[in-house]
Structure formats: C-alpha cells, structure tokens
Amino acid sequence: MNLLLDTHVFLWAVDDNPKLSAKARAAIVAGSNVVFVSAATAWEISIKKAIGKLKAPQGDYLEELRLHRFTSLDISTEHALAVENLPHYHKDPFDRMLIAQAQVERLTLVTGDLRLKAYPVKILEA
C-alpha cells in the first residue's frame, strides 16, 4: 500500500506521539508500504512555525524524511490543477492539496481529520 501522510500524522510519526493509532503506526513502519510526505507538508510546517502557530519538534525536516525512510512527494502541475475539481467540503489549502495528490497518485491518505472522508480518496484513520 502506498501512503501519503497528513501533516499532523507526519509530526506524530517523527515524534513517536501516542496520538497516532496502532493501525496507522503499523502501516507506516511496515517495510512493504511506501510512505510519502508531500512538499505541502513542509510548506505548512514552515508557515505555521514562522507565525508561531506550530511548535514542531526540533530537527531537520529532510533528515527526518531520511531517518524514517519516507519518500518526498513534490507538488506537480497536475496536482495543482486537480485541486480545482475538488468539492469545497474542506477549505484548508494544504489538506486540499494532499487530497489532490492522493487522488492523482492513487495513494491512501493517513489522517485524523475525518472531514476528509467526504472526498473520493482512500483514507487510513490515524
């Protein structure tokens, strides 16, 4: 299974936060799954840290990707254009990008935001 981590799930995974469900944690660490982290996640973390809205664990983002064997997923033009076709169930631009990427790349989105279940995308609850 190919997974795409929502931003909060990425932070929980690298921080070994107990909020992450056992099922999601098992899927993330399973060697048979490819785990993607979007460039949108780096963007969201950077913005929210800069305005004081997020206290992310200290450490280098790229180093965390490497340490956890996560695969970086760049934002393509196809991803950006796919956002236009999404219904407006959710207004958060970062989540909308993750939904578009999950759809285009046929990934399972790992998230605790159950509002995202309204979209036609596979969800693994975090």
Q: Which of 78, 77, 119 is nearest to 96 (CA)?
A: 119
The most distant pair of C-alpha atoms in the chain lies apart, rounded to whole Å, by: 37
Backbone dihedral angles phi then psi of residue 85, each to the nearest 5 degrees:
-90, 0
Backbone dihedral angles phi then psi of residue 94, each to the nearest 5 degrees:
-70, -45
DSSP 59: S
Q: What sign does the dihedral 43-78-92-98 (CA atoms) show?
A: negative
For the stretch 63-114, pLDDT in tens is 888 899 999 999 999 999 999 999 999 899 999 999 999 999 999 999 999 9
Q: Quickly count: other Cβ atoms within 10 Å of residue 10's Cβ.
A: 27
Amino acid 100: pLDDT: 98
Give 62's pLDDT tier (boundaries 50, 70, 90): confident
DSSP 36: E
Q: Which of 20, 40, 31 is nearest to 92 (CA)?
A: 40
- What is this structure's pTM? 0.94
Domains recognised in the chain with CATH numbers:
2-125 (3.40.50.1010)
